[in-house]
């Protein structure tokens, strides 16, 4: 028995073996990790990093994408970005559009979600109806809005006329920007459905306890519901900001010219930064300059997103940790 024991002690695996086994599990985990993230990394490299790098390289040239005689121009295109009034104006316009649509869209979505989270008859029907516009294809939505806001035969001017107003040329400057904002907000059901899902996760016992303690519904909403929803709201703000800075297709769809040539006829009010980039790329064939514009936009989006995150850190409530306490600890 002793011999057996001794033998078994002698046979026992030395300590490094244990370590090797440990490394083996870790290596397996590492392999599994890379197996899972590998497709994403490949996609990221091929579809994001490579295009970004290529766009950067093009931004240092005056290429039109087709002609053989392009030249390196260094950072000339980047200097031009800050001298081009159309660029500056379209960037400013895009910023204003972002400020007009993101807070309004998130707030409207939340308000609708709160309303539709209550118990009442026909709630499911209303939820479906409110969400429906969000699934209507953008082209169909744009056509509908063009018909509604047609100067001569549209419902909008019929309403204006009914209250004694003169018909408005909604699809031309300076009104077309309002039509576009309305069209974007028409799809607020997307935001609503996210907020509605988040509302389901608000613990009822917290709200009931607050009620027992005499808290008003408004107080409960602002002190309990809203903090719990804050990560979801923050998510919507971040994605909304990024999306609105890249707004492009709706402007083309509302333009008075159909098809790819629409970019040449987008009214000034809807001439956003990405529309400008597209026009520089494909109407004016300024591939080099347009690539520089994209890099500037990339930097701008990073900057704005960074600011939003900085602000969000102070007001987003993550899993029971008060953000102010977290900062102080």
Q: Which of residues 258-277 bind another protein (CB under 8 A)?
A: 258-261, 263-268, 274, 277
Beta carbons within 10 angstroms of residue 124's beta carbon:
9
Q: Is 55 in the site for another protein (CB under 8 A)?
A: yes
Tokens 């994408």, residue?
Answer: 65
String of contacts with another protein for each residue 113-142, x by CB under 8 A? ------------------------------
Instruction: Note whether 282 and 55 are within 8 A (CB).
Output: no
Distance CA 184, CA 52 (A): 28
Among 172, 302, 311, 321, binds another protein (CB under 8 A): 172
Among 126, 282, 300, 317, binds another protein (CB under 8 A): 282
**How does 74-104 read in b/e, with b if 16+ C-beta sit within 10 Å?**
eebbbebbeebeebeebbebbbebbebbbee
Q: Is 63 in the site for another protein (CB under 8 A)?
A: yes
Q: Is 283 in the site for another protein (CB under 8 A)?
A: yes
Q: Is 184 in the site for another protein (CB under 8 A)?
A: no
Q: Is 285 in the site for another protein (CB under 8 A)?
A: yes
Q: Is 159 in the site for another protein (CB under 8 A)?
A: no
- Can you count the helices (H) and strands (E) in the chain? 17, 0
Tokens 């309403």, residue?
Answer: 159
Distance CA 280, CA 300 (A): 18
Q: Is 167 in the site for another protein (CB under 8 A)?
A: yes
Residues forming the site for another protein (CB under 8 A): 47, 50-55, 58, 62-73, 86, 146-147, 149-152, 157, 161, 166-167, 169, 171-173, 246, 248, 256-261, 263-268, 274, 277-279, 281-287, 290-291, 294
């Amino acid at each position: 028995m002793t011999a057996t024991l001794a033998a078994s002690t002698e046979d026992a695996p030395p300590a490094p073996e244990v370590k090797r086994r440990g490394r083996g599990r870790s290596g397996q985990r590492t392999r599994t990790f890379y197996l899972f993230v590998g497709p994403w990394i490949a996609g990221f490299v091929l579809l994001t990093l490579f295009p970004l790098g290529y766009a950067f390289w093009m931004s240092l040239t005056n290429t039109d994408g087709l002609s053989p005689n392009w030249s390196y121009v260094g950072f000339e295109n980047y200097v031009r970005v800050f001298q081009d009034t159309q660029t500056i104006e379209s960037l400013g316009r895009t910023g204003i559009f972002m400020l007009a649509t993101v807070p309004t869209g998130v707030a409207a979505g939340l308000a609708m979600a709160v309303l539709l989270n209550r118990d009442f008859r026909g709630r499911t029907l209303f939820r479906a109806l409110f969400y429906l516009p969000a699934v209507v294809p953008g082209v169909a939505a744009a056509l509908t809005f063009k018909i509604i806001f047609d100067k001569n035969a549209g419902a909008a001017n019929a309403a204006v006329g009914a209250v004694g107003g003169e018909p408005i040329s909604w699809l031309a400057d300076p009104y077309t920007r309002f039509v576009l904002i309305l069209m974007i907000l028409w799809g607020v059901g997307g935001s609503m459905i996210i907020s509605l899902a988040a509302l389901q996760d608000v613990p009822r016992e917290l709200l009931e306890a607050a009620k027992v303690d005499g808290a008003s519904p408004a107080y409960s909403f602002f002190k309990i519901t809203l903090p719990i929803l804050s990560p979801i709201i923050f998510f919507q703000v971040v994605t909304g900001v990024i999306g609105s800075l890249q707004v492009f297709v709706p402007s083309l769809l509302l333009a008075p010219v159909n098809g790819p040539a629409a970019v040449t006829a987008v009214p000034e009010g809807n001439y956003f930064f990405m529309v400008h980039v597209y026009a520089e790329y494909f109407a004016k064939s300024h591939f080099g300059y347009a690539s520089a514009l994209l890099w500037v936009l990339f930097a701008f989006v990073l900057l704005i997103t960074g600011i939003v995150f900085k602000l969000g850190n102070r007001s987003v409530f993550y899993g029971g940790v008060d953000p102010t306490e977290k900062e102080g600890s």
